[in-house]
Structure 1
Amino acid sequence: MLAPALFVVLGFFLLVKGADLFVDNASGLAYRMKVSSVVIGLTIVAFGTSMPELAVSVTAAIQGSNEIAVGNVIGSNIFNLLVVAGASACIYPLAIHSVLMRRDWPWSIFVSGVLLVFILIHQDISRWESILLLVLFGALLTKQIRSAKETKDQSVKSAKSLGRLIFFLIVGIIGIIAGGQLVVEGASNLARLWGWSESLIGLTIVAIGTSLPELMTSIVAARKGENEIAMGNVIGSNLFNILCILGISGTLRPMKVDIWAAQDCLVLLLVSIIYYGVVKKWGLNRRCGLCMVLTYVIYMVWLFVR
């Protein structure tokens, strides 16, 4: 019991310190490159914090554990939207960049709907469907890069050199990923000692654990006033998870999925649409953030009893 608990404590320490380094140097990189923070959040930060999901889902797909590969992505996306964004807003109300509301959040809703259709048609994600996801990812990434070139941020607030920024950014990513892995490993061992089933561990601890980098990064970003990085990380990670991670996983090995995945994907689609409307009308304040977290608690209760 002691060793898993120590893993969890050490993991959270690495997550916090890694996220602190990551956010500071990601925002510094944005200023140095004269690119808006929202672009850095949607790309570098989002891709970096999604590395645990990529490792878990690709490995699971290669080994034939399709439910883990798909469930990890869907579960992580629900956690990102409801808990990462919600908890960040509870700490510091988030101002949402117009680009996120106009382009990237609607894209996130669209690709969630595409994934749901794939699952409902024949309860699998074929190689051709996976390639289509990768093509969509390429199209979105191209659009984001073009947008970055058009929306230059002329302020340079970082005194660090470009090399130092990149070095400490990588150190932060390593800390985040290592910390996330330690927490997942420790928490999984504790759950087994408590008698949890492998299925329940996968749906809860694995999905939540691989999203801890997004959680810590967005909370630290919100605390530092880097709102664009905080929310850009959430939406960017969700897009990366479905389009790139499932795209790569399904291209390597077509995935047959359980019908329960359709229900979870429907939950993801519904909360994405509902809270997009809420945030568009009232903004992402503390009250909205609390509602998001409570929605996730209700979803977790449903997972345990279904």
Structure 2
Amino acid sequence: MLLPLVAVALGLVGLLWSADRFVGAAAATAYRAGMSIMLVGMTIVSIGTSAPEIVVSVMASLDGTPDLATGNALGSNIANIALVLGVTALVVPIPVRFSIVRRELPLLLGATGLAGYALADGQLNSVDAALLLALLVFSIWWLFRADEGQQAVAGEIPGMALGKALVWLVVTLAVMIASSRGLVWGATELARSFGVSELVIGLTVVAIGTSLPELAACVASALKRHHDLAIGNVIGSNLFNMLAVLPVPGLLAPGATDPDAAGRDFPVMLGLTLALAAILLWQRRGRVGRIVGALLAASYAFYLFWLGTSLTA
């Protein structure tokens, strides 16, 4: 019991240390390379902070626990919208740019719909995985094609050369991944000692643990006024969770999925994704404020309560 507790504590410390430096390195990389901050949030930061989900899903599938991987993908998206974006908006209200609505939201909605189609028959197989990965390739191509180049950025960008920024980006990303992995391992060991199912572990302990990099990066981005990086990271992470994390069990451990994944958890994720779309459409010339943030955070607390009651039913 002591070793998992130590892993959780060290994981939290590592995430807190690396988050601020990682965001600064990402912003500097965008500036020096001539890329827009939004594009970096949608690609470099999103892939980087989604790496723990990918690693956990691969290991879970190889270990013969694909439901943990499925729960990780669905639970991370639920946590990203309700917990990460909600807490970030509570800390600092987030301005919304129309380009997010025009370019990134259609990709996320399409990925969510395709994920629902893949889960609808209660199976995840290689065909489902191939469809999701094909949309991933298209999404990456579309984001680079639609990038508008360097734009004015509110807030200070660290004055470091491109080479130094890239080194810091790699180092801090490695610390974030290692810290998140240690945190998830320790929390999972603690949860399993109480006899919790693999799907619920993936939806709660693993999803929250692997979403901590997104939470830390988004809050740090918002405090530095890199608002495009904060919102772009949430949308991009959810996109990659559906198209790069969810296909993993279909490739490595194809077979039946837990019925609750399609019947309970996907509808929650779909509802939150549609709510996010409505919020961004409504606030496309304004900002995501603290009231919306409080509602999102409260919805996540309610979801966790619902999961808890379903376990005791």
State the one-letter code of the partner of 2:60.
Answer: A
SS in 2 for 1:211: helix
CA offsets, 1:207-266, max 9 Å, x none?
Answer: 111111111111111111111111111110111111122234423442421211112111
Counterpart-to-counterpart distance in 1, 2:195 and 2:65: 19
What secondary structure is seen at the aligned counterpart in 2 of 1:101? helix
Q: 1:197, CA displacement in angstroms?
A: 2.0
Matched, 1:204 2:207: no
1:82-231 equivalence runs, <5 A = 82-120=82-120, 122-148=121-147, 150-153=148-151, 157-192=157-192, 195-199=194-198, 200-231=200-231
TM-score (norm 2): 0.90
* Preserved CA contact (<8 Å) 1:66 1:256: no
After superposition, the C-alpha distances for 1:261-292 in whole angstroms (9 at most, x for unaligned) are 11211111111112321332144111101100
Aligned residue for 1:152, secondary structure, equals: coil
Contact 2:94 2:288 in 1 (8 A): yes
CA contact (8 A) 2:36 2:151 kept: yes
Instruction: Report the equivalent of 1:270.
Output: 271
Separation in structure 1 between the aligned mates of residue 184 and residue 157 of structure 2, nearest angstrom = 36
Segments of structure 1 that go 5 or more residues without pairing to the other structure are none
Q: 1:64 to 1:188 in 2, by over 3 A?
A: closer
Question: In structure 2, what is the Cα distance between the partners aligned to 1:63 and 1:192?
Answer: 15
- Post-superposition offset of 1:79: 0.3
Kindly tell me: are residues 218 and 181 of structure 1, through their superposed partners in 2, closer, same or farther at Cα, counting changes over 3 Å?
Answer: same
With normalisation by structure 1, the TM-score equals: 0.92
| Residues 203 and 159 (structure 1), Cα distance of their counterparts in 2 relative to 1, 3 Å cut | closer
Q: How far apart, in 2, do the equivalents of 1:35 and 1:25 lie? A: 13
The one-character-per-residue Cα deviations of 1:94-126 (angstroms, maximum 9, x if unpaired) are 112322212212321221122112211x21122
SS in 2 for 1:151: coil
Counterpart CA distance in 2 for 1:228 and 1:75 is 24
- After TM superposition, give the deviation of residue 182 of structure 1 in Å: 2.2
Match of 2:61 in 1: 61
Name the amino acid aligned to 2:8.
Answer: V
| Count of matched residue pairs | 303
**Equivalence for 1:8:** 8
The alpha-carbon distance between structure 1 residues 75 and 127, as it changes in their structure 2 partners (threshold 3 A), is same
Distance in 1 between the 2:26 and 2:96 partners? 18
Match of residue 305 from structure 1: 309
CA contact under 8 A between 1:34 and 1:154: conserved in structure 2? Answer: no
Structure 1 consecutive aligned stretches of length 4 or more whose deviation exceeds 4 Å: 154-158
Two-structure CA RMSD over aligned residues (Å): 1.9
Residue type of the partner of 2:66? N
1:163 shift after superposition: 1.1
Aligned to 2:33: 33
Query: In 2, are the aligned partners of 1:32 and 1:158 still within 8 Å (CA)?
Result: no
Alignment partner for residue 287 of structure 1, among 276, 288, 291?
A: 291
Q: Deviations over 1:46-69 (max 9, x none)?
A: 000111100111222233322111
Identical columns (%)? 36
Residue 157 of structure 1 deviates from its aligned partner by 4.7
Matched-pair contact (CA < 8 Å) for 2:71–2:201: no
Give the drift of 1:196: 4.9
